[in-house]
Amino acid sequence: MNEFALIFRNEENPDVQFSPEQMQGILGQWRNWIGGIAAQNKLANPGNRLGVEGAVIRKGGIVTDGPYAEIKEMLTGILVVRTETLEEAVELGKGCPIFSAGGSVEVRIVIPTTME
Amino acid sequence: METEEQLIPHLFRTEYSKIVAVLGRLFGFEHIETAEDIVSDTFMLAAETWGQKGLPANPAAWLYTVAKNKAKDHLKRNTIFNNKVAVTLQQNAAEAYETEIDLSGKNIADSQLQMMFAICNPIIPTEAQIGLSLRILCGFGIEEIADAFLTNKETINKRLFRAKEKLRHEHVKIEMPATVELNNRLDTVLTTLYLLFNEGYYSRSQNISLRKDLCLEAMRLTYLLTGNAVTVQPPVYALLALMCFHASRFEARTGQQGESILYGEQDTSLWDKELIARGQQYLNKASTGVQFTKYHVEAAIAFWHTQKVDSQQKWESILQLYNTLLILEYSPIAALNRTYALSKAINKESAIIEAEKLKLDDNHLYHCLLGYLYTDIDDGSALNHFEKALKLAKTKPDKKQIKLYIKQLAEHTAKTN
């Protein structure tokens, strides 16, 4: 079995404000999607959502507010699935609710930690 | 007035476990059989004496006195033996001879808790932990344990013997674990109690009163954990709440002929309101602190099942709880239940898509679920799945239930055509 990280990216759009009901609905979609992966026993790690608040540290201790000005899509979260092949992981990723919000999912194989 | 024939088995279970715990702690696992023998002898003497002379005024006190005297005699003989034969005295036996054997309520509870931690030890297999708990902590007979596990006395005797050997060999002490490892050890204890309850609740055994006793014993032991300052922790309350919610349906889930009645078809007036209310109290107590365990999630799911309404909100809540449960820990049964909740919260079509991803083809319940989901949508597929389920089912009650589904489906199809 292999593990694949699903990496979520989305544009930060300050113009879009969700009502609490909409927010609830979006959260429900995400939980159903992740629950569905878990129900297939393919969830290796539920990971975390990432918020907007953050900073970037560069060589020489230079700290900036974030990468947001330079890149279009922001990293919004990560989770890890357990499948045999990349294709299966991609298939799981296709169900992600992020697409209806204009985001993307990057699928990357996880390199196992060796005991050495 | 109860006769001694009725009283002795009842007393046996409760008092046996109490006295064995106290004497067992005194003797250690090295001589746990001696403790068991002393208590068995005591009960044999009780059966004889009470049969001739009638019941004493306080049967429990009578048992304690006799057991104490027998234990003291044993220790005395043992001390003499050790003094003469062995150079070193057996430390705990010598101390016990000096001290009074304490059968007070407090010491019984303490001893039972310590015994619980000693038995629920990951160095012995889970089945052995449950078996030993039933024998030593609950006072069940070997025959009853064999009946609960659907096996024979010999298998159980071997299993318990090996488990005691292992505990002896590893020098497991009958004591509370150190504070640093308490939480880990408490996890194991809770898992065993959870499985003990499930053994009773979902067992294939036809002996309904025995199954109920297993559940009640699991509840009693869990309750015991709430009475101790160190072990009274939110997950304990969560587990106890879960047990209360499930147990509230004892009367409703079994028919007159002992057949099981499915949740949707139960007479809800038979649900035990008092147990439901107690479950809610425990769930509130479980919701303090930061710990969030699968028992919390399962208790919350079980809570929703005590609500008679069949609303979309109820099923949406249950669906989200199953999502959470599966994220915490996968199990096929949770995956199946999640899919059922999805069909109620959203619709059968989406549930079919999700169900077909589960790949539990050799599980009869999986095919029962698909049979249910396809009913009305594609009765042919529904029948196919029920027939597969029937082939896979192993026990008589399961087969009987599936045959009923097939009959109902045929009636349904005839009506709608």
Nearest to A35 among B316, B338, B359 (CB): B338
Number of compact structural domains in chain A: 1
Positive or negative torsion for Cα B10, B210, B294, B314: negative
C-alpha to C-alpha distance for A89 and A92, rounded to whole angstroms: 5
C-alpha to C-alpha distance for A95 and A10, rounded to whole angstroms: 16
Contact state of B323 with A40 under an 8 Å Cβ cutoff: no
C-alpha to C-alpha distance for B327 and B151, rounded to whole angstroms: 35
Residue of A nearest to B354 (CA): A36
Positive or negative torsion for Cα B273, B276, B280, B282: positive
Q: What is the pTM for the complete model shown?
A: 0.85
> How far from B185 is each of B114, B123, B173, B199, B258, CA to CA, in Å?
11, 11, 14, 21, 37
- ipTM, interface predicted TM-score of the complex: 0.86
Task: List the pLDDT tens digit at each of the 417 positions of chain B.
Answer: 455 566 666 777 888 889 999 998 888 888 888 889 999 999 889 888 988 888 888 888 999 999 999 988 888 887 766 665 454 445 555 555 555 788 888 899 999 999 999 999 989 998 899 999 999 999 888 988 888 888 899 999 999 999 999 999 998 889 888 888 888 889 999 999 998 999 888 876 777 788 888 899 999 999 999 999 999 999 999 999 999 999 999 899 887 776 777 787 889 999 999 999 999 999 999 998 888 899 999 999 999 999 988 888 999 999 999 999 999 999 999 999 999 999 999 999 999 999 999 999 999 999 999 999 999 999 999 999 999 999 998 888 788 889 999 999 999 888 887
**Concatenated DSSP letters of B6-25:** HHHHHHHHHHHHHHHHHHHH
**What pLDDT is attached to residue B4?**
57
Question: CA of B300 to nearest chain A CA: how many angstroms apart?
Answer: 17
φ/ψ of residue B229, rounded to 5: -60, -30
C-alpha to C-alpha distance for B50 and B57, rounded to whole angstroms: 11
The whole-angstrom distance between residue B46's C-alpha and the CA centroid of its chain comes to 29
- The residues near A32 (Cβ < 8 Å, ≥ 6 apart) are B319, B323, B342
φ/ψ of residue B67, rounded to 5: -60, -40
Q: What is the residue type of A94?
A: K
Contact state of A39 with B319 under an 8 Å Cβ cutoff: no
List CB contacts (< 8 A) between A83 and chain B.
none
**Concatenated DSSP letters of B178-245:** PHHHHHHHHHHHHHHHHHHHHHHHH---S-HHHHHHHHHHHHHHHHHHHTSTTT--HHHHHHHHHHHH
Highest mean pLDDT among A48-52, A98-102, B78-82, B334-338: B334-338
Residue A23 maps to a domain: yes
Contact state of A32 with B326 under an 8 Å Cβ cutoff: no
C-alpha to C-alpha distance for B283 and B295, rounded to whole angstroms: 10
CATH, residue A22: 3.30.70.1060
Contact state of B339 with A43 under an 8 Å Cβ cutoff: no
- Domain housing A35: 2-109
The whole-angstrom distance between residue B269's C-alpha and the CA centroid of its chain comes to 25
Higher pLDDT, A21 or A88: A88
Higher pLDDT, B13 or A79: A79
Residue A115 maps to a domain: no
Residue of B nearest to A47 (CA): B327
Determine the residue among B315, B323, B365 to mutate to test chain A binding: the one whose Cβ has the most chain A Cβ atoms within 10 Å: B323
**What pLDDT is attached to residue B83?**
61
List CB contacts (< 8 A) between A31 and chain B.
320, 323-324
**What pLDDT is attached to residue B50?**
87
C-alpha to C-alpha distance for B350 and B339, rounded to whole angstroms: 9
**Which chain B residues touch A if contact means CB-CB below 8 Å?**
316, 319-320, 322-324, 326-327, 330, 334-335, 338-339, 342, 354, 357-359
**What pLDDT is attached to residue B89?**
44
Q: Burial level of A108, CB count in 10 A (0-12/13-18/19+)?
A: middle
Tokens at residue B150, please?
């659907």
Nearest to B354 among A28, A34, A36 (CB): A36
Where do the structural domains in chain B lie, given as residue ranges?
360-417
A–B CB contacts, 8 A cutoff, strictly below: 44
> How far from B408 is each of B379, B403, B404, B412, CA to CA, in Å?
11, 9, 6, 6
Residue A114 maps to a domain: no
Burial A34-47 (b: 16+ CB within 10 A, else e): bbbbbbbbbbbebb
List CB contacts (< 8 A) between B322 and chain A.
35
The whole-angstrom distance between residue A79's C-alpha and the CA centroid of its chain comes to 6
Q: What is the residue type of B217?
A: E
Question: Please, what's the largest Cα pairwise distance for chain A?
Answer: 50
